[in-house]
Chain A
């Protein structure tokens, strides 16, 4: 990896709106530091899945997303909205569950579908696993 000693925050993100002056958004530096906790010491077998939500009856498999110290809260919320199509409040609720409890079940259903979701989370750089859904 290259090492660049000093990088000045010089980029500007300007939403282009026809007929109006561009608005320069200030950098949101603080968000970069809202990294998420990790709970690497927690193993699946230690989880009381009965506490989790989004569990429909008769669906024996689940996709669980795990906390990590790298991904931004806003990114995790974004992924839940973009991939699963969850409304913002639901996406934020799940993100906070991941953040505060170390993991959250984000979907339940047939095993193959849960594996597809898990693979998709890995595409996004989130760590997800396939688990047995709680009874």
Chain B
């Protein structure tokens, strides 16, 4: 069992981010971040890439929103969150996806691109620290 003690403002932030994330992954609009959340599976075969996307998009959306829903539900009750290892496995991909979206907004495209020293950059780093902490709780120290 992992006990995650979040500040109420952090709970509010995560809930807000997840609400926006769920809106994003289910939108039919074009958004560059979606190209990373649902990346191409074939870089050299456009037909195969389109077919893969056609057959996997819905189930990927279902899994991503199921994961984010599990995180949101855990945040409903209390700012002290108790997670089984299985629960934590739902959190990790959500934290990654949130960072992937933020990386797009922050123009972090290569390792040479700095994390901006601003509010959004702070959130990006904070999500990474939270994910890293959960992984260490699951897997032990690196």
| A interface residue numbers (CB < 8 A to B) | 1-16, 22, 25, 27-29, 31-33, 35-38, 40, 43-45, 68-75, 77-78, 81-82, 115, 118-119, 122-125, 127-130
Indicate if the CB atoms of B108 and A130 lie closer than 8 Å: no
Indicate if the CB atoms of B109 and A31 lie closer than 8 Å: no
7 A-B pairs with the lowest CB-CB distances in the bound complex, closest first: A32-B128, A125-B96, A3-B119, A37-B111, A31-B132, A16-B1, A13-B137
Task: Name the CB-closest residue of A to B67.
Answer: A123
Q: Is B26 close to A, CB under 8 A?
A: no
Indicate if the CB atoms of A3 and B4 lie closer than 8 Å: no
Indicate if the CB atoms of A1 and B102 lie closer than 8 Å: yes
Q: How many A-B residue pairs have CB under 8 A?
A: 182
Indicate if the CB atoms of B110 and A11 lie closer than 8 Å: no
In the complex, besides A37-B110, A38-B111, A128-B41, 15 extra interface pairs with C-beta distance below 8 angstroms are A1-B120, A2-B123, A7-B123, A10-B5, A10-B6, A11-B4, A13-B133, A13-B136, A40-B110, A75-B96, A119-B52, A119-B60, A129-B40, A129-B41, A130-B48
Indicate if the CB atoms of B52 and A36 lie closer than 8 Å: no
Which of B60, B130, B133 is most buried by chain A, counting CB atoms within 10 A of its CB?
B133
Contact check: which of B3, B38, B64, B131 meets A22 at CB < 8 Å? B3
Tell me which residues across on chain B come within 8 A of A12, comparing CB atoms: 3-5
Task: Name the CB-closest residue of B to A8.
Answer: B7
CB within 8 Å for A70 and B3 given contacts A123-B60, A130-B52: no
Indicate if the CB atoms of B2 and A15 lie closer than 8 Å: yes
Q: Considering the chains assembled together, what is the distance between the CA atoms of A76 and B57 in angstroms?
A: 22
Tell me which residues across on chain B come within 8 A of A3, comparing CB atoms: 118-120, 123
Q: Is B122 close to A, CB under 8 A?
A: yes
